[in-house]
Chain A
Amino acid sequence: MLEIKNLSKTFNPGTVNEKQALTDVSLTLNEGDFVTIIGGNGAGKSTMLNAIAGVWPIDSGSISVNGVDITKLPEHKRAKYIGRVFQDPMMGTSADMGIDENLAIAARRGKHRTLSWSITRKEKEKYKKLLSSLDLGLEDRLTSKVGLLSGGQRQAITLLMASLEKPQLLLLDEHTAALDPKTAAKVLALSDKIIEENQLTAMMVTHNMKDAINHGNRLIMMHEGNIIYDVSGEEKKKLHVSDLLAKFEEVSGGEFANDRMILN
């Protein structure tokens, strides 16, 4: 499904700020895989997701989705294959536009945009139903500007946007990290539901080890630009937080106490 081969990325090469963020990373996802990704600050998790999404060009390696080589495609062209939700709730939606307008833009992801009206009446009905299924009190606020919504509501909308036009790959980068625990749990449950209902292949970065264990069928740990641990299936189900901690201490030399990974 997703095939990453020998991916490397260095930021600010040749300067004092040079930083090798990814070192020769290879990874293959199967259709329907839901991978959770953990790792310390600066391990390269976001960099890997951004490389897949095409935020900037990579130094070497290749990325393909369902056999299509997307390594050289610009970000907006990859959007045809990829849905994304960011850590920052402000990033995934247009604040000055209505909820319906945001959804309508997302419904046309990967399609040719024309001079026909940007949103049809039929769509509005559909969006209303979708919003009421969120159970966030948004069904009567179809035309409200997204900028008036809370962070949790915005992330829920962004999730809808990422999945409205079914993506081949869904990328979630700590998309609940900026939310309070209760809202985070709600958005996480919604993510689970959307991934399951649409049978999406997904990658979810989280700093919560328990979430990483309890969600998805596969878990990856990253450290200093490498994938250092990759478990799936039964083995993953049996994982405990203590196993992940042991693994982490093994590679980082027990320095994890000042990291922001959450244990419970």
Chain B
Amino acid sequence: MLNIVALLNALPGSVAQGVLMGIMAIGVYITYKVLDFADLTVDGSLCTGGAVAVMLIMKGINPYVALLAAFAAGMLAGFLTGFFHTVMGIPGILAGILSQLGLYSINMRIMGKSNQAVSVDKYDLVVSLRYITPAIVVGLIFVVVLIGILYWFLGTEIGSAVRATGCNENMARAQGINTNIGKIIGLVLSNGLVALSGALYAQYNGNADINMGRGAIVIGLASVIIGEVLFGKIFRNFALRLFSVVIGCVIYFAVIALVLQLGLSTTDLKLFSALIVAVFLAIPYWSGKYKATHPAKVKKGGKTDAGN
């Protein structure tokens, strides 16, 4: 039975989770949408970020410095995938899977055991689920600053080369762009963001867990797709598009809270998420097929560029 009060109580927490994991979803947007690269490193690098941050904080390092270190560790993970793909010629999906697998061992090495807790009572954490409203505010500040930096970077000559790499490799190479470097830059940036998100999320939860990244790529894809379906038509500006991914992530966590309230068990959640994402991924394919078999009549007076 749906318990409205319980759901409303859970909602602020979902918003905080959605905002903090939304940074991970922005990372997924960079690889999946900008680079056209389905990067499965994410499941590993999210945990790497959490592990690095938690261990450093436990050593007495400033939590903000720990976030930077987590970002750098994520960048290294992205570089590893880029290296597998470009230098060793391994197909993109497989390169990500290999990194993800290797990162499991590395994450275990970093943490020493499968779970490490940091208490907000003992350390001055950046965010904590004990203080949900500040966590949301801090998360949103991170989101806005990061979107600003990404907006700037992808507008530079180098950023534009990365976008061209993702859009049309042939064109990029013909215009003198080293597409291998373009892909590596995208992967490094993306996984840096993912790890940063993991570092914030671990602090929020008060612990880093070896399984915290499992299924993260699916959450990221879901956020990208939800954001696109809901806001794709109204948000044309790139910065707003990135923001819609974060909103997508918030909605994802809200829906999860809802289905949990409806009685779905937490272990069934992953199947639920996988199926939802599968359906949303199928929509463009199905609608393409539908359009191919049901050609739309040309709108009267509509301006078209079809033909030559």
Contact = CB atoms under 8 A, between A and B. Distances in A.
A55 to B, nearest CB: 8
B173 interface: yes
A109 B171 CA distance: 11
A74 B177 CA distance: 11
Contacts of B155: 117-118
B167 A109 contact: no
Most chain A C-beta atoms within 10 Å of own C-beta, residue among B159, B160, B164, B171: B171
B308 A152 contact: yes
A101 interface: yes
Nearest to A115: B156
A95 interface: yes
Contact of B175 (A109, A117, A118, A150): A109
B164 to A, nearest CB: 5
A63 interface: no
B173 A180 contact: no
B177 A105 contact: yes
A176 B305 CA distance: 18
A153 B173 CA distance: 21
Nearest to B306: A150
Nearest to B153: A115
A95 B174 CA distance: 15
A80 B177 CA distance: 10
B174 A53 contact: yes
B266 interface: no
A165 to B, nearest CB: 9
A94 B172 CA distance: 8
A180 to B, nearest CB: 5
Interface class of chain A by DSSP = loop
Most chain B C-beta atoms within 10 Å of own C-beta, residue among A110, A111, A118, A153: A118
A102 B173 CA distance: 13
Given A76-B177, A79-B175, A105-B175, A148 B305 contact: yes
A86 B305 contact: no
B284 interface: no
A69 interface: no
Nearest to A148: B305
Interface in A86-110: 86, 90-97, 101-102, 104-106, 108-110
B168 interface: yes
Interface in A49-93: 53, 74-77, 79-80, 84, 86, 90-93
Contacts of B177: 76, 79, 105, 113
Contacts of B23: none
Nearest to B165: A94
A151 interface: yes
The number of chain A residues touching the other chain, given as a range, is 35 or more
A149 B305 CA distance: 6
Contacts of A119: 160
A95 B305 contact: no
B158 A76 contact: no
A133 B198 CA distance: 52
A101 B160 contact: yes
A264 interface: no
B91 interface: no
A94 B308 contact: no
Contacts of A53: 174
Interface in B123-176: 153, 155-161, 163-164, 167-168, 170-176
Given A79-B175, A94-B163, A113-B157, A153 B168 contact: no
Given A75-B173, A93-B171, A114 B160 contact: no
B167 A97 contact: yes
Nearest to A78: B176
Contacts of A113: 157-158, 160-161, 177
B156 A114 contact: yes
Nearest to B156: A115
A203 interface: no
Contacts of B307: 150, 180
A205 interface: no
A219 interface: no
Contacts of A77: 176
Interface of A: 53, 74-77, 79-80, 84, 86, 90-97, 101-102, 104-106, 108-111, 113-119, 148-153, 161, 179-180, 182-183
28 contacts: A77-B176, A79-B173, A84-B174, A92-B174, A94-B163, A94-B167, A95-B167, A95-B168, A105-B160, A105-B175, A108-B157, A108-B175, A108-B176, A109-B175, A110-B176, A111-B176, A113-B161, A115-B157, A116-B156, A148-B305, A150-B305, A150-B306, A150-B308, A153-B308, A161-B175, A179-B308, A180-B307, A180-B308
